[in-house]
Amino acid sequence: MTRLFGTDGVRGLANKDLTVSLALELGAAAAHVLTRDRRSSDRRPTAIVGRDPRVSGEMLAAALSAGMASRGIDVLRVGVIPTPGVAFLTDDYGADMGVMISASHNPMPDNGIKFFSAGGRKLPDSVEDEIEAAMAELSPHGPTGTGVGRVIEEAPDAQDRYLRHLSESTPADLTGIKVVVDAANGAASTVAPKAYESAGAEVIAIHNSPNAYNINDNCGSTHMEQLQRAVIEHGADLGLAHDGDADRCLAVDGEGNIIDGDQIMAILAVGMKEKSELRKNTLVATVMSNLGLRLAMEEQGITMLETKVGDRYVLEELTAGGYSLGGEQSGHIVLPGLCPTGDGTQSGLRLMARMAETGCSLKELAGVMNVLPQVLINVPVANKAAILQSAAVQDATAEAESELGGTGRVLLRPSGTEQLFRVMVEAAESEQARRVAGRIAAVVAAV
């Protein structure tokens, strides 16, 4: 049976794959699993529910809230707010669980559900499996009378709490820095510009007018062309791009060049090492990170550990090893001392703080890392498991690895959120990377 949970929660086409009835069942099952050891005679468990502004979020929030309340959970709905805001508020309010309704960088018709345990932490696979099992086993009859949970529709201080947290954790005054912010018409549309302005930066906000339908629509961290143009047009020092739920941050330097998550991690790692904030002189990244990041970290005397793709796997390694910085090339940057998940706005603040502290431009700071040519092809497939088992794909991969030798690498992996298979190739030369990746992608598409 196909697992319901993917790389980052449950995701699919809203009202088709991700239905109201599924959300209702998920809410009830998650409430049962995540609060069963936190109940007492004098205390009712609580849950925080937030969402991004896409149109289906309203109905899914209602269904999830109803499911949780049916299991005796009081639900506090915090409205449109970034995913890291829900993680922070789950901890800050002392709630027993949190839920974010968002499909992150996916297009508007999709939506997703992400759960957090007490403290605002993403769930390990084992707990997600327990929730799936509970959906099949849970009795349809919940508590009655005073045992039924309440749904509080609005938390008036939620956004202020989150903004105050961002302000208190910003290490430098950003006065004099001019930044263009692309909020992807998503959850960062209000929060990110306010946070950057509060820290002293001059902010030009674009794509910050969500209307329930325009989230991620040719904007944000997956479509950065307009941000690149805006940085040049406004003579800004940098641009920052968020995704729909604002747990990602990518950047553009003053010349319009894209600065990806690997480069942001390199900049922050060097700065944290200088201030003795990089615990055990270690950075945690994923297998998708550019080989150039590892080489740059070696040159700086910093150890780099790799995990599976997904910021929750990065966080698991950070927690297990007691490390202080990790992330993904896609722009999820995790600073566990500040937030229990990736926080795009926090990343933007930290990046600009590094510019303010050093007096260097973003392009100068990014020079710490030499990015090797990397080509990523997303191949639509009907059966992701069949690709992994294909002898033809295995042979094509082996041939490519032999051709690249020690100057590059090949990585094939199924998407955890979409019906795609990702083919990534790094090589010393761009043309070679494109040629090899295209050859493997053609084999994948033919399976």
* pLDDT at residue 309, as a whole number: 85
Tens-place pLDDT, residues 372-398: 998 999 999 989 989 989 999 999 999
**Fold for the domain defined by 169-366:** Alpha-D-Glucose-1,6-Bisphosphate; Chain A, domain 3 (3.40.120)
Q: What percent of the chain has pLDDT over 90?
A: 87
Tens-place pLDDT, residues 189-242: 999 999 999 999 999 999 999 999 999 999 999 999 999 999 999 999 999 999
Judged against a pLDDT cut of 70, whether residue 351 lies above it is answered with yes
* pLDDT at residue 425, as a whole number: 95
Tens-place pLDDT, residues 141-184: 999 999 999 999 888 899 999 999 999 999 999 999 999 999 99
Phi, psi of 145 (to 5 degrees): 55, -130
* Residues linked to residue 411 through DSSP beta bridges, in sequence order: 424
CATH of the domain spanning 10-156: 3.40.120.10
* pLDDT at residue 2, as a whole number: 74
Residues 6 or more apart whose CB falls under 8 angstroms from that of 240 comprise 179, 180, 181, 182, 192, 196, 249, 250, 251, 252, 344, 348, 351
DSSP 195: H
Cβ contact 73:45 at 8 Å: yes
| Helix, strand and coil in the chain, % to nearest 5 | 40, 20, 35
Residues 6 or more apart whose CB falls under 8 angstroms from that of 236 comprise 178, 179, 180, 204, 230, 254
Q: What is the DSSP string of 53-117?
A: S-TTHHHHHHHHHHHHHTTT-EEEEEEE--HHHHHHHHHHTT-SEEEEE--TTS-TTEEEEEEEE
3-state SS, residue 256:
coil
Binding residues for Mg(2+): 104, 243, 245, 247
Residue ranges, comma separated, of all CATH 3.40.120.10 domains in the chain are 10-156, 169-366
Per-residue pLDDT band at 401 (split at 50, 70, 90): very high
Q: Which amino acid is at 382?
A: A
Encoded tokens for 116 = 């957090």
Cβ contact 259:362 at 8 Å: yes
Residue ranges, comma separated, of all CATH 3.30.310.50 domains in the chain are 374-446
Q: What is the DSSP string of 272-317?
A: HHHTT-SGGGEEEEETTS-HHHHHHHHHTT-EEEEE-SSHHHHHHH
Q: Which residue has the tokens 């929030």?
A: 61
CATH architecture entry for 374-446: 2-Layer Sandwich (3.30)
Identify the active-site residue in 65, 104, 221, 289.
104
How many angstroms separate the CA atoms of 27 and 70, rounded? 9
Asked if 117 is an active-site residue, the reply is no
Mean pLDDT, range 298-318, rounded to an integer: 93
Binding residues: 104, 243, 245, 247
Cβ contact 27:99 at 8 Å: yes
Judged against a pLDDT cut of 80, whether residue 88 lies above it is answered with yes
Residues 6 or more apart whose CB falls under 8 angstroms from that of 415 comprise 7, 378, 384, 421, 422
